[in-house]
Structure 1
Amino acid sequence: MLSDFQLIVDSYEQPRERPGEYQEQKIFYSGKQKRHTFKNQLIIMPSGQEIVDVVVGKPGKTSDITIWREDGIK
């Protein structure tokens, strides 16, 4: 349905509380932000008035392109 439109995709990081277990800390630690974060992604129409999709709560070290490859194609 949206194949005829160009979409805008943007990701951002949201700070979160530091996890207690070391293995979980490694998953959520963002080297770019130097803290533990959730990564969120918005897909919107070029007008900016219609939100097409929102992906919330991916681990902070997940790259933007990986989120797009996993969820953007749906």
Structure 2
Amino acid sequence: MTDRSIITESDIRNSLISRADAYAKAGRTSFSAIGIAAVGDSKFLSRVQSGLSFNIRTYQRVMDWLDVAEKSVRREAAE
């Protein structure tokens, strides 16, 4: 029996790219702009998408940036 509770690098990569892609597609910004704003690297998300390695701290910085950006959008929409 396989334990699906194990989170793999691929799971984390897919989660990061899916979330950034959804935010970008909603017309909020581009992958490059997210990378610059979150980690100071315009090519970060493109490199992650193409399979290059990343560390969990950088992943968390991008996810934290997306949390703040999405809250801001929701707050603006409610006004």
Query: Higher strand fraction: Structure 1 or Structure 2?
Result: 1
TM-score under structure 1 length normalisation:
0.23
TM-score under structure 2 length normalisation:
0.23
* More contact order relative to length (CA 8 Å, sep ≥ 6): 1
